[in-house]
Structure 1
C-alpha cells in the first residue's frame, strides 16, 4: 500500500468516526408524520427550487422598518404566525371587525371587513378597536395541504352543498360567494353567480385563492405592499411595492406544494375504533374524509385523492360561536368546516397545548366539540351520550390525524 492509499484510508476512517460521534450527539430526525412542513412528493427539480425559495421567504425573512414594515402591523414575518407551518396561538391571533352592514346584517361587499393593526413601529400608534362594532378573533391556521384544497373543483363543492337542507338531515352547508380582486387567475371550470365567485380559504371561506391570501397577508399582517395589494394600510395611499412579484409568487408556490399531513398509526385498534365512532355520530357529515383535486399544472397535485376531513362549506354553528362578524356571503353564525388533518400536531406550534376553533377559545378537542351548536348540535349531543371508552377512542382517532 502506498502513502496515497494510506492517507485515503485514514481520511475515510476519520469520517466514519465523526459520523458515528454525531449520531450519539444529535437526536434522530423526527419522522415525516410528526412534521407539517416539507414539500409534496414528486416535484421536479425546478419546482423544488421554487419551493425552497418560497420556504426562505416565508420562514426566514423578517421585515423591519428599513424593509417596509408597517407603520402599523400585526406580525413581522409569515413564519411568526405559522411556526413549522402549524396553527398559531393567542399571541398571533388576528382581530377583524365589520366596517359596515347592509339591511340583512351582512358586510357591505364594497367596504368589507377591516383587520386591526395592533402593533406599530416607533413614532406611530397601533390601531384601537372601534367601539360597538362586530368583531372576531382569528387564530392562524396550519398551512399544510393547501394546494390540494385549492384544486377541489367548484362543481364538487356545489355537489356537497345543501343550503336549503333539501335532504332533511339537519346539515345545510353552503359555499361562500364573494367578490374577488382583479389580480387572481380564475380557476378552470369556475362557477360564477351574479358576479360573485365561490371562495374557500379563511375561517369563513371568503378568500378565493392562495395568491389573494398571500398578497393580503403581506399587506394586512405586515404592512407590506406589493403590485397586487399596493395600498398602504396606514395612509390609504398607493405606494411602490415593498415585496417583489417573484417573492410573492414563490411563497404562493410554497404554500401550494406543502405536503398534506400524514396520519399516524392508522391501523392502531383504538384509532380504528375511534374513526368508527366519528362516522357513527355524524361528524363526517361536515368533516368529509375524502376529497379529490382537479387537473393542475403541478403534476404532483393533479387528480389526487386526499383526506382533509372538511367539506370546505359554511355551516351554522349556533349562538355560542356567533360573534356578529361576517365576510362575503357567510352569515354571522356560519363558519367554514376546518380541516382536521394535522390536528394532533397542533400543540407543537401552540406552546404545548391546544387553542382550537376559529378564535382559539377551546383548550382541548373535547371542549371544541362541546362548543358545537346549530348544525353541529346533533353530533355534539351524540358525543355527550358516549361512554368514557368510546370518547377516549374518538379523541385518540382525532389526535392521530
Structure 2
C-alpha cells in the first residue's frame, strides 16, 4: 500500500513516467514498479493531495478503486463528470437509485418499496425484514417468546416508530410526540485514559454518567422514564436580496422531569431527527476511494470547502474504516447502525451489541434490576443473528423513488442554479457503486444521492457542540438529497436539518453557514424566480 502511495505522490509532483517508474525504496529494499503499479499511479488526477496524505497515514486505506478494469474506470469517470449542459436532463437522471429505482405510483408509501432489481426470493426476505422492522417489542417477561426485551428504558417500541413510513422524523409539534426525535448525550474526555481512548478511536465520545448516550423518555411499567425534551424557539428574521423577509426559528434545548438526578454539567445535548431510509444499501457500496478523493481538510483548492472523513472503528472487525451513516458519519455499516438503534432506541440486545438492558447505566439500578428478554432456545441475545440478517437486508434494499418533472424548464433552471451557486461542492450529484458489491442489486449502479458523505463545518448557527469521533461540534455529514421532495407526501411535513428546525427547504438553505456560507449567500442574493427554480429542482429529487 505504501509503495502505491509513494508512486502516487511522485505523480502528484509532476514526475514524468520515466521518473515515476524508477525503483522505489520499500520496507524490504528496492522494488521496481510493475505496469499495474503505474496504472494505479495514473489515477492521481482523480485524487486530492489530502486524500493521499490520509492514505499514507492509515494502513490499508484505499487511495484508488481496486474493483474496476481500465475500461470500467474510463466509463465511471465519464459518467460521473459534473454536467455543464442544463438544457435537458442527463442520461439516466430519472433513475436516481440505479436499476433498483422504484417506478411505482408516488404516494405515502413511496419510501417503503423494495429495490426493483432484487430477485423473487429476495423479495420474500425483504418482506420478512419489513415485518420485524414494524413489529412492537414488549417488556419482559411475556408470553410472546420472541418479542420481549423492550427497554427497560427506551425511545420507541418498533423501528418503524422512529423511521415513520421509512421516511424523515420530525420535532414534536403541537400534540405530536417526540418518538422520531431524541437527544444524544455526550461529553468530552476528562482523564488521560479517556483522551487516549479517543485518540485511538476506541470510542466516539463519552456518555453521561447517569443517563447514558441518549435521553430515553419512555419506560416499561413500574419504571420512570429519564425525562422529557423541552424545545423553545426564537424567531430570527432574515431579509433576502430582493427585500423578501424570511423568519428562521432558532431552537434551544433542555430536559424536564429528570428522574435519576442531574445531568453532568459537561454533558452536551444534541437533538437528532431520524433520516429517511431509502438508498442505504447503495451508499454502503460506494467505494471509499471515491469519497476520500474529495477530502480537502486544508482547503488546498481555495474553494472554501474542507470536507473531512470520520474514521471510526468497525465494531466487529476492530479495523479503522470510513464512517458513512448517521448525522455525523459515525457509523460504518448498516448492520452496525441497526444494532446501535436496537440497543439505544428500543433496548434490545443483538450479537453486535449484546446490551440486554439497552442504555441503562449503573446509576439507574432500578432499570438493571428488571428482567431481560433473552430466550435461551433462540440464542444468547434478544434479537439473534437471523433477526439482524432480515432487518439489515430490509434496510439495504429500500428503493429510491424515480425523479419527477426532470424535463420541465423551471426544474432545469433550478438545477443550473444549484450548480452555479456552489451547492455541488458538498452535495456531489452522482457516484458509481462497486463492481464487487456482495449483492448484484447494488453492483455497478449509477446513483444520484447528492452528497459527498464527508464532514463539513456548517458554522455556529447549526453547531451542537458535541464531538462524535473525528467530527467536531460544528461539523455535520452532508445529508443525501434524493427523495427530499417527497417528504411532505410520505411524512406529512417539511421539517429539515438534523433537528427539524427548518420548516421548509428555503429555511434549510438559509441556515447554512461555515463552509456552506457562500452558497447560502448566493441563494439569498438571487431573485425570487431563481430561488423558486432551485426549490423546484430540489422538490424533483
TM-score using structure 2 length: 0.64
Contact 2:329 2:455 in 1 (8 A): yes
Following the alignment from structure 2 to structure 1, what is the Cα–Cα distance between the partners of residues 361 and 185? 19
Q: Which moved more, 1:32-41 or 1:246-255?
A: 32-41
Q: 1:30 to 1:42 in 2, by over 3 A?
A: closer
Q: What runs of 5+ residues in structure 1 fail to find an aligned partner? A: 1-28, 185-194
Following the alignment from structure 2 to structure 1, what is the Cα–Cα distance between the partners of residues 450 and 316? 31
Provide, for residues 101-134 of structure 1, a one-character-per-residue CA deviation record: whole Å limited to 9, x for no partner: 3699999453545122121111111124615321
Which residue pairs with 1:50 in the alignment? 125
Match of 2:466 among 315, 322, 325: 325
Matched, 1:64 2:138: yes
Deviation (angstroms), 1:169: 0.6
RMSD (CA atoms): 2.3
Matched, 1:297 2:438: yes
Match of 2:447 among 290, 296, 306: 306
Following the alignment from structure 2 to structure 1, what is the Cα–Cα distance between the partners of residues 291 and 473? 21
Which residue pairs with 1:228 in the alignment? 352
Q: What runs of 5+ residues in structure 2 fail to find an aligned partner? A: 1-103, 143-147, 172-177, 208-212, 228-254, 256-262, 363-367, 375-379
Following the alignment from structure 2 to structure 1, what is the Cα–Cα distance between the partners of residues 226 and 314? 26
Deviation (angstroms), 1:386: 0.5
Following the alignment from structure 1 to structure 2, what is the Cα–Cα distance between the partners of residues 103 and 349? 46
Q: Which moved more, 1:82-91 or 1:163-172?
A: 82-91
Which residue pairs with 2:479 in the alignment? 338
Secondary structure of the equivalent of 2:342?
A: helix
Matched, 1:93 2:181: yes
Contact 1:86 1:348 in 2 (8 A): no
Contact 2:188 2:467 in 1 (8 A): no
Match of 1:217 among 308, 318, 341: 341
Contact 1:89 1:360 in 2 (8 A): yes
Which residue pairs with 2:292 in the alignment? 158
Contact 1:88 1:349 in 2 (8 A): no
Following the alignment from structure 1 to structure 2, what is the Cα–Cα distance between the partners of residues 112 and 101? 7
Following the alignment from structure 1 to structure 2, what is the Cα–Cα distance between the partners of residues 328 and 349? 32
Following the alignment from structure 2 to structure 1, what is the Cα–Cα distance between the partners of residues 310 and 191? 19
Following the alignment from structure 1 to structure 2, what is the Cα–Cα distance between the partners of residues 301 and 96? 32
Following the alignment from structure 1 to structure 2, what is the Cα–Cα distance between the partners of residues 112 and 376? 29
Deviation (angstroms), 1:45: 2.3
Provide, for residues 133-172 of structure 1, a one-character-per-residue CA deviation record: whole Å limited to 9, x for no partner: 2121110000000011001111111101111111111001
Contact 2:111 2:400 in 1 (8 A): yes
Matched, 1:120 2:208: no
Matched, 1:364 2:504: yes
Provide, for residues 272-314 of structure 1, a one-character-per-residue CA deviation record: whole Å limited to 9, x for no partner: 1111111110001101110121121211110111001101010
Provide, for residues 216-261 of structure 1, a one-character-per-residue CA deviation record: whole Å limited to 9, x for no partner: 1111100011222112222667964111211111110111111123
Secondary structure of the equivalent of 2:461?
A: helix
Would you say how many aligned residue pairs link Structure 1 and Structure 2?
361
Q: 1:89 to 1:264 in 2, by over 3 A?
A: same
Secondary structure of the equivalent of 2:185?
A: strand
Following the alignment from structure 1 to structure 2, what is the Cα–Cα distance between the partners of residues 134 and 390? 39
